[in-house]
Amino acid sequence: MRSTFEIRKTNIVDLDTDAIVNAANESLAAGGGVCGAIFQAAGYQKMQEACGTFGHCNTGEAVLTPGFDLKAKFVIHAVGPVWIDGEHGEPEKLRSAYKKALNLARIKHCRSVGFPLISAGIYGYPIKRAWADAVSACTEYLRTNRNDVMKIVFAVLDEGVRQAGREAVRRAGAGALMPAEPGDWKTMPMPAETESFLLTRSFREDEMDALRLGHVPEAMEDKWFWYMEESTLRAHRSWTGHMIYRIDFRADNRHLVTVNRDPEQYGCTDIEEDRAVLGKLLDRWTKLPYDYYGQWLAETYDSLKKAGGERRGLMLRFCAYRRSQADCCFRKYVKNDEINASSHLFSSNKRSHFFKTFLTFS
List the one residue out of 191, 189, 231, 190 whose CA is nearest residue 208: 231
The stretches of 153-267 forming alpha helices (DSSP H) are 159-171, 205-213
The pLDDT of residue 175 is: 82
Residues in the chain: 362
**Between 350 and 31, residue with greater pLDDT:** 31
- The pLDDT of residue 306: 67
329/4: higher pLDDT: 4
Range scoring the smallest mean pLDDT among 89-103, 210-224, 245-259:
210-224
Instruction: Give residue 218's pLDDT.
Output: 80
Predicted confidence (pLDDT) per residue in 54-112, tens digit: 999 999 999 999 999 999 999 999 999 999 999 999 999 999 999 999 999 999 999 99
Helix (H) or strand (E) segment spanning residue 271? helix 271-285
Q: Report in angstroms the alpha-carbon separations of 178 from 4, 38, 150, 153.
A: 6, 26, 12, 10
Q: What is the pTM of this model?
A: 0.75
Residues 6+ apart with CB under 8 A from 305: 337
Domains in the chain: boundaries: 4-178, 194-285, 310-361
**Average pLDDT of the segment spanning 45-54:** 96
Nearest CA to 3 among 97, 113, 165, 98?
A: 113
Q: How far apart are CA 110 and CA 14, in angstroms?
A: 17
Q: Does domain 4-178 have CATH number 3.40.220.10?
A: yes
Burial letters 93-118, b for 16+ CB under 10 A, else e:
bbbbbbbbbbebbeeeebebbbbbbb
In contact, 209 and 249? CB cutoff 8 Å: no
**CA distances from residue 209 to 69, 97, 183 in whole angstroms, order as listed:** 29, 29, 20
Mean pLDDT check: name the lowest of 41-55, 71-85, 315-329: 315-329
Instruction: Say yes or no to pLDDT of 347 above 80.
Output: no
User: For residue 305, what pLDDT is reported?
Assistant: 66
Task: Tell me the percentage of the chain whose pLDDT exceeds 90.
Answer: 71
Measure the CA angle with vertex 39, ends 126 and 10; round to 5°.
Answer: 55
In the chain, DSSP assigns E strands to 4-9, 19-24, 62-66, 74-79, 112-115, 151-156, 194-200, 224-229, 232-237, 243-248, 254-260, 314-320, 340-345, 356-361
Lowest mean pLDDT among 27-36, 238-247, 293-302: 293-302
CA 103, CA 101: separation in Å to the nearest integer? 5
